[in-house]
Structure 1
Amino acid sequence: MTDLGLPENILACLFDLDGVITRTAAVHAAAWRQALDAFLRERDGTDFRPFTDADYAEYVDGRPRSDGVRAFLASRGVDLPEGAPDDPPGATTVHGLARRKNELFLERIRAGGVEAYDGTLRYIRAARADGLRTAVVSASANCRDVLHAIDAECLFDTRVDGVVAAERGLPGKPRPETFLAAARDLGVPPGRAAVFEDALAGMDAGRAGRFGYVVGVDRVGRPDALYAHGADRVVTDLAELTGEPGGPKDPAER
């Protein structure tokens, strides 16, 4: 068996997608910046203040798109009509801005493809080889397509993403309901499941759901913030949890 760096009572691992499994967090941030800066520049003119990395971390990262729009606009004192989920990307509504961001994200993904964190994929394979159940929990409605692009759908026993959350009426992070739903799908109580997240909203969800262990994955150099929001341990790569250079080996290599 591989030492996965988890408490002995853990039976399941619940992984966020962007920033934990795939290198798409930066793509999301760039798409948000492009969509929101265009809106703010047109609205505020010479008083324009750009969307920042701090704004992304505080208001947007890990949340469903429309929730991210609402949270960010509230921070700037901007009130927009909700509109409808089928608003076109150019509509000056909450849903219109969310659609515009997603359009820009998909354009960037199609242009550059999707890259996975190899250390995470090795870790997931090792966890499954040791009998742990696995789930992907993401706010993204594009989660399935992204997993397919990296040939990783087979690594998860269940998927609770933006599409599934909408179908089940689950609120997004920082609420814990999507993680709790994944644990239920796996037949594992929250106290025996570990959450792997890079977003502050995801940390909050892990803490609120009273999960057995919460791992903060720090890709951008903010360990203190991840601990403050509920991480039990912070790593820069999941390989660190195993204590092995390069992380756990694939089952065929052990």
Structure 2
Amino acid sequence: MTVQPHQTLASVLRDVRAVVFDTDGVITDSARVHAAAWKTAFEAYLAEHPPPAPEQRRPFDVRDDYLRYVDGRSRFDGATAFLAARGLRLPPETVRAVAEAKDRLFSARLREQGMDAYPGTVRLVRALRRAGIPCAAASASRHARELLDRAAVLGLFDVLVDGVEAARLGLPGKPRPDLFLEAARRLDVPACRAAVVEDAVAGVEAGRNGGFALVVGVARDPAPEAGQRLLRHGADIVVRDLAELLA
């Protein structure tokens, strides 16, 4: 008997007509580089401008603080959220300066270290394409195209909506669903027939807010609370690696 391409997909994906993937931490192993750059930028600012309360002066945590405040958001929104959580409500120009310092650090580290795609994600995207299911990459990052290109996976995606496009179109950031909805629109598939794959709280909230048929959370952190947090905020299922969605 000939094995049909769709049989390589887990049953949860067999009714969707398109899949929209977040980039950082889902397609590419770039979340760690983003988190390290944020840590350096935030701690440089906090060292010169200590928060008012002692408990707010703890260092930026590259796991918890990154996922809670900045992952999945635009640079400006992420910087605003973290600094506000530390009791600092700052003028936009100050927040923008911190965000731009982070971007310079990230760009330098990207040039030095390169970037890899997660093998499980690549396997899943190839299986989806064999099954005739189009795929999009969506990211608030202006570096998304460069990241995918460096990881040699840009050609696997039918559509890319990145931070450059989001700014051009005036799309609000996550947890608003506009970025994902634009990607689904370009694939010519309604959200109610498409899936979103995300590793950030703001991202799974965006998928849920957009009425997507399936919201897949990716919790690469083995701690149980990482997956539980995504489920609480709107993920239908949570996996540690996207190869788990291959039958």
TM-score normalized by structure 1?
A: 0.88
Q: 1:174 offset after TM fit, Å?
A: 1.1
Equivalent position of 1:34 in the other structure? 40
Q: Which residue of 1 aligns with 2:192?
A: 191
Q: How many residues align?
A: 234
Report the CA distance between 1:239 and its aligned residue: 0.9
1:151-173 alpha-carbon deviations (Å, 9 max, x no partner): 21211111111110000000111
Matched, 1:13 2:11: no
1:51 correspondence with 2:60: yes
Counterpart residue number, 2:113: 112
Distance 1:45-1:216 versus aligned 2 partners, 3 A rule: closer
**What secondary structure sits across from 2:49 in the alignment?**
helix
CA-to-aligned-CA distance 1:116-156 (integer Å, 9 cap, x gap): 10110111011011100110011110011111111212111
Aligned partner of 1:51: which letter? Answer: F
Superposition deviation, residue 8 in structure 1 = 3.4
Asked whether 1:3 is paired with 2:14, we answer no
Tell me, what secondary structure is at the counterpart of 1:239? helix
Q: Which residue of 2 aligns with 1:235?
A: 239
* 8 Å CA contact 1:40, 1:49 repeated in 2: no
Aligned pairs for 1:171-250 within 5 A: 171-221=172-222, 222-243=226-247
Q: CA deviation at 1:49?
A: 2.5
SS at match of 2:29: coil
TM-score normalised by L of structure 2: 0.91
Among all aligned residue pairs of Structure 1 and Structure 2, give the percentage whose two residues are the same amino acid. Answer: 52
Give the C-alpha shift of residue 76 in structure 1: 1.6
What code does the residue aligned with 1:62 have?
G
1:26 corresponds to which letter in structure 2?
Answer: R
Q: SS state of the match for residue 90, structure 2?
A: coil
Q: Distance in 1 between matches of 2:193 and 2:40?
A: 40
C-alpha distance in 2 between matches for 1:7 and 1:49: 42
Give RMSD over aligned pairs.
1.5
Q: Map 1:82-161 onto structure 2 (within 5 A).
A: 82-83=92-93, 93-161=94-162
Q: Which residue does the alignment assign to 2:29?
A: 23
Unaligned stretches of 5+ in structure 1? Answer: 84-92, 244-254
The corresponding residue for 2:167 is: 166
Amino acid in the other structure paired with 1:9: D
